[in-house]
Amino acid sequence: MEVLSEAIAAKGLRRSRQRDAIARTFFVMGGHVPVEALVEAVRRQEPGVSVATVYRTMKLLADVGLAVPRDFGDGRARYEAAHRRHAHSHDHLVCTGCGRIAEFESHQIEALQRRLARRHGFEVERRHVELYGRCAGCRAAGKGADAA
Ligand SMILES: [Zn+2]
Ligand SMILES: [Zn+2]
């Protein structure tokens, strides 16, 4: 929250009760939070909060590196907290049957990323690797993208 306060001050914005509630709720929820679910959760404490304010606040969190925008192709804008425990980026397995999202970290992908960057004289700022398919549960139930 201190990092957030500083970032808000640096942007010449005032700290507001709504913005604080949005940030706190987001970090408490954890995981890959759809913005619409965040709006719902925040409105339980701040009934007057607008969708636009939630989007603006999440963009601010992303700008200062506290949150990472995620898009898993289901038409829902999501954000994920930028965790310190992830020194390296992590990637995602997305089930097209039930929407379950699993995370993985791969040293091979890290190494490949470094190699490609070197070869192309490129500096990587962020990466999104998403594998889409059916999770073990959906496969066992014979459920897939067709059934969704
Ligand atoms: Zn599934
Ligand atoms: Zn994740």
Per-residue pLDDT of 31-51, as tens digits, reads 999 999 999 999 999 999 999
Q: Which secondary-structure segment (H or E) carries 44?
A: none
- Domains of the chain, by residue range, sit at 1-84, 86-148
CATH fold for domain 86-148: Dna Ligase; domain 1 (3.30.1490)
Instruction: Confirm if 82 and 65 have CB atoms less than 8 A apart.
Output: yes
Q: What is the mean pLDDT of residues 80-108?
A: 84
Mean of pLDDT over the chain = 87
pLDDT for 147: 47
- Tell me: domain 1-84, CATH 1.10.10.10, correct? yes
**Closest ligand to 147 CA?**
1
Using the mean position of ligand 1's atoms as its centre, give its distance from the Cα of residue 49 in Å: 33
pLDDT tens figures, 117-147: 999 999 988 788 999 999 999 999 986 555 4
CB proximity list for 122: less than 8 A, separation 6 or greater: 116
pLDDT for 127: 85
Using the mean position of ligand 1's atoms as its centre, give its distance from the Cα of residue 134 in Å: 5
pLDDT for 148: 45
**Closest ligand to 105 CA?**
2
Using the mean position of ligand 2's atoms as its centre, give its distance from the Cα of residue 101 in Å: 8
Give dist(CA 148, CA 98) in Å, integer. 7
